[in-house]
Amino acid sequence: MDVIRLEAVSLWRRTQEEFSYDLKTTIFALLDGRYRKPSKKQVLNQVDLRIQAGEKVGLIGANGSGKSTLLKLISGILKPTSGKVTVRGEIAPLIELGAGFDIDLSVQDNIVLYGVLLGFSGRTMTQRTPAILEFAELNEYSNMPVKALSSGMVARLGFAIATEVQPDILILDEVLSVGDERFKNKCQQRLERFWRANSTVLVVSHDLDYVRRSCDRVCWLDRGQVHFNGDPREGSTRYLDTVQPQGEVPR
């Protein structure tokens, strides 16, 4: 069964650099007859992708190739310009932990706030607060404002909240480096448990070794198109070949 299905998905986005963001400029441009419709750029081009339940898929590609955009489409943050995105099951986005925190609120309040933003009920979050504090090792800090925490602690808290409930689909966008070495291992263990428990996992990573080791499949995006989709070994090797400049010997 496909849990994620992208059919001929294309996405055009407005280019921000050209956009004035300004009422004054827009009105003057209109008066001068210089007004142009904002230009759009194609970010994804006819992407077809099917992911089955329990598959672990690694997304690779250069910066700006559309990896994160693809994840945003799958999470429902963006809508495709054409084509169809179908997702079955609950998604837990683990994109840049801590984006939902309010640094002035206490750790406890933030657990509820962040959990509700992620789609859980306030009551569930209140019940889970002790377990989350426990995992993040922040028991003594529960009444302190988040701004009093170190950045490593904030990342730990974010990870603990987002992974407290096991999702059907887990999305990881370069977030595997959380906290110190010891905590990193703890995260790794928890993620591995998801891995084994038949969650569908989508990973964006520049760590090709990691992708090769942990994914069933690799999908290589190049300028908004799927360039390769298949065996992780073959995919990452071919990707490395194009990245390695000609004539330069890799160390």
Partner 1 sequence: MTIAPALIPKTQRFLELLYVLTARNLKVRYRGSLLGVYWSLLNPVIMTGVYTAVFGTTFAAYYDNSVVNYVLAAFTGLVVISFFNSTTAQALPSVVRNGTLLNKIRLPIGVLPLSMVMANVFQFMVGAFPLLAIITLWVSGNPFHVLLLLLPVLALVIVTTGVSYILSGLYVFFRDLPYLYELVTFILLISSPVFYPAEIVPPLVQPFLALNPLSPIIESIRKLALKGETDLNQIGAAWVGSLVIAGLGWVAFRSWYDQFMDLL
The CA distance from 35 to 75, in Å, is 34
Q: Does 112 bind partner 1 (CB under 8 A)?
A: yes
Q: Is the dihedral of CA 63, 64, 70, 76 positive or negative?
A: positive
Tracing tokens 């194609």 back to the chain, one arrives at 42
64, 76, 130, 152: which one binds partner 1 (CB under 8 A): 76
Q: Which stretch binds partner 1 (CB under 8 A): 120-128, 147-155, 175-183, 242-250?
A: 120-128
61, 66, 93, 235: which one binds partner 1 (CB under 8 A): 93
Token code pair at residue 68: 């994160």
Binding mask 124-163 for partner 1 (x = CB under 8 A): x------x-------------------------------x
Cβ atoms within 10 A of the Cβ of 90, count? 13
> Is residue 15 within 8 Å of 56, Cβ to Cβ?
no
Q: Does 204 bind partner 1 (CB under 8 A)?
A: no
At closest approach, how far in Å is the CB of 243 from partner 1?
Answer: 27
Nearest to 92 by CA among 117, 123, 62: 117
- CB nearer partner 1, residue 64 or residue 230: 64
At closest approach, how far in Å is the CB of 239 from partner 1?
Answer: 26
Q: Does 193 bind partner 1 (CB under 8 A)?
A: yes
- CB nearer partner 1, residue 24 or residue 251: 24
121, 185, 237, 242: which one binds partner 1 (CB under 8 A): 121
26, 82, 126, 242: which one binds partner 1 (CB under 8 A): 26
- CB nearer partner 1, residue 74 or residue 211: 74
∠22-26-31 over CA atoms, to 5°? 150
At closest approach, how far in Å is the CB of 221 from partner 1?
Answer: 19
Within 13 Å, how many C-alpha atoms sit on residue 214's CB side? Answer: 24
If binding means CB under 8 A, how many residues of this protein chain bind partner 1?
A: 46
Beta-bridge partner residues of 1: none
- CB nearer partner 1, residue 16 or residue 150: 16
The CA distance from 3 to 7, in Å, is 13
Beta-bridge partner residues of 44: 11
Q: Does 34 bind partner 1 (CB under 8 A)?
A: no
> CA–CA distance from 168 to each of 97, 127, 163, 164, 215 (Å)?
19, 21, 11, 13, 17
Tracing tokens 């089955």 back to the chain, one arrives at 52
Residues lying near partner 1 in the complex (CB under 8 A): 13-14, 16, 19, 21-24, 26, 72, 75-79, 89-90, 93, 95-96, 99-100, 102, 104-105, 109, 112-113, 116-122, 124, 131, 163-168, 190, 193, 197
